[in-house]
Amino acid sequence: MEMEYPYELDKDPNLWLDEIDLLEIESLTPEEAARLEAMVENDIQSMDMESDIAPEEADEAAREGDEHLAQGLVEEAISAYRRMIQADPESLDAHLRIADAYLLADMSFKAVRHYRKAARSHPRRAEPHFRLGEVYRRYGLLKVAIAEYRKAVDLSPQNPFYRYRLAKTLFEHGEIREAIEQMMLCVQTASSDAFYHYALGDMFARLRRYEEAAYEMRLATVFAPYDDYYSACLGIMYLHTRSLPKAASAFRQAIRLNPDNPSYHYLLADTYRRMGMVKHAAAHYRKAGRLGAYDSAFVRRVRDEVSRSRE
């Protein structure tokens, strides 16, 4: 079916440009895409030509833009960041800031063009490629997101979050083996960061590799001993591996850290019930009931997954 554009391109190109998003751009003919690219490039170049602003005013414009963003005034922030670019057309910070603001204004294509401009002007910097990857992933364009994340990781191999995003997107794209490899490299880079152990454990759990998942979740609890969620996740992995005493211990730790979470009491009660400890189970079911509403979808999903893992 032919795409209906909200505005005629020749009648009001700037308004049309503000309305279009990345998914619609994928449907353009090559001629339409080229015209759109040229329009945004002209918009960027026009900032360069209006450079009657002194370079020392860039810091003031940045502060002004940040204040506008904090107040939710996105258009005013964009105007301030345009002045930053007029003061220094090659400024990495200015192009990243205005691109971020365009994203908040749902002008994704303009954001992409500024990220690309930043990447061209600063070929040894990883941030523009990472942010391009974030935009493409946001719109479900996983293949091009992966390409940008790879560039970011190549330029900044010691940044674990860049590699984490690459691994996560590879996993979502179905490239499971490389996703696991990249996540393992991420864990090696930030071996004492609990989050990355949790993320690797979560990947293993999604693949039903529960022994490996439990190992990584346990490390997450070692490096973040006061995080109740990691303890609860460890308990769930032990349920999958039928290590009921260990599961009960993990859920008890989650409750010690967050005694008012009814979901943890339900999970511990379920574990006690499976262990034949009926009185203990009943006590925690009652406790969960007194605490009020619990995440029934979460508890039900855990029960279903544990049941399937035993088949």
The tens place of each residue's pLDDT in the chain, 311 residues long, gives: 333 333 333 333 333 333 344 545 555 566 655 655 655 555 555 555 455 666 667 788 888 888 998 999 989 989 988 988 888 888 899 899 999 999 888 888 888 889 999 999 999 999 999 999 999 998 888 998 999 999 999 999 999 999 999 999 999 999 999 999 999 999 999 999 999 999 999 999 999 999 999 999 999 999 999 999 999 999 999 999 999 999 999 999 999 999 998 889 989 999 999 999 999 999 998 988 888 765 666 666 666 666 565 55
Q: Is residue 262 part of a domain?
A: yes
Q: Among the three residues 122, 140, 158, which one is the final residue of a domain in this structure? A: 122
Q: Is residue 10 part of a domain?
A: yes
* Tokens linked to 220: 């997450």
Residue 4 DSSP label: P
Largest CA distance in the chain: 79
DSSP secondary structure string for all residues of 84-104: HHHH-TT-HHHHHHHHHHHHH
Q: Is residue 154 part of a domain?
A: no
Q: Among the three residues 85, 100, 122, which one is the final residue of a domain in this structure? A: 122
5 shares its domain with 116: yes
Q: Is residue 136 part of a domain?
A: no
Q: Is residue 1 part of a domain?
A: yes
Chain segment 2-48, per-residue pLDDT in tens: 333 333 333 333 333 333 445 455 555 666 556 556 555 555 555 55
2 shares its domain with 115: yes
Number of domains in the chain: 2
Q: Is residue 151 part of a domain?
A: no
Helix/strand/coil for 2: coil
Q: Is residue 174 part of a domain?
A: no
CA-only gyration radius of the chain, Å: 25
Its domain, for residue 83, covers 1-122
- Provide the CATH number for the domain around residue 54: 1.25.40.10
Rounded CA separation 210/203 (Å)? 10
Q: Among the three residues 82, 106, 122, which one is the final residue of a domain in this structure? A: 122
CA angle 204, 209, 210 (to 5 degrees): 95
Please report how the helices 92-104 and 74-87 are oriented relative to each other, as an axis angle in degrees rounded to 10.
Answer: 160
Spatial contact of 273 and 296, defined as CB atoms under 8 Å apart:
no
Chain segment 69-81, per-residue pLDDT in tens: 899 998 998 998 8
DSSP H or E segment with residue 189: helix 176-189
Closest residue by Cα to residue 36 from 52, 48, 47, 20? 20
Q: Is residue 200 part of a domain?
A: no
Query: What is the per-residue pLDDT for 69?
Result: 87
CA angle 94, 97, 102 (to 5 degrees): 120
| pTM as predicted | 0.79
Q: Count, in order, helices (H) and strands (E) of the chain.
A: 18, 0
Query: What is the per-residue pLDDT for 36?
Result: 52
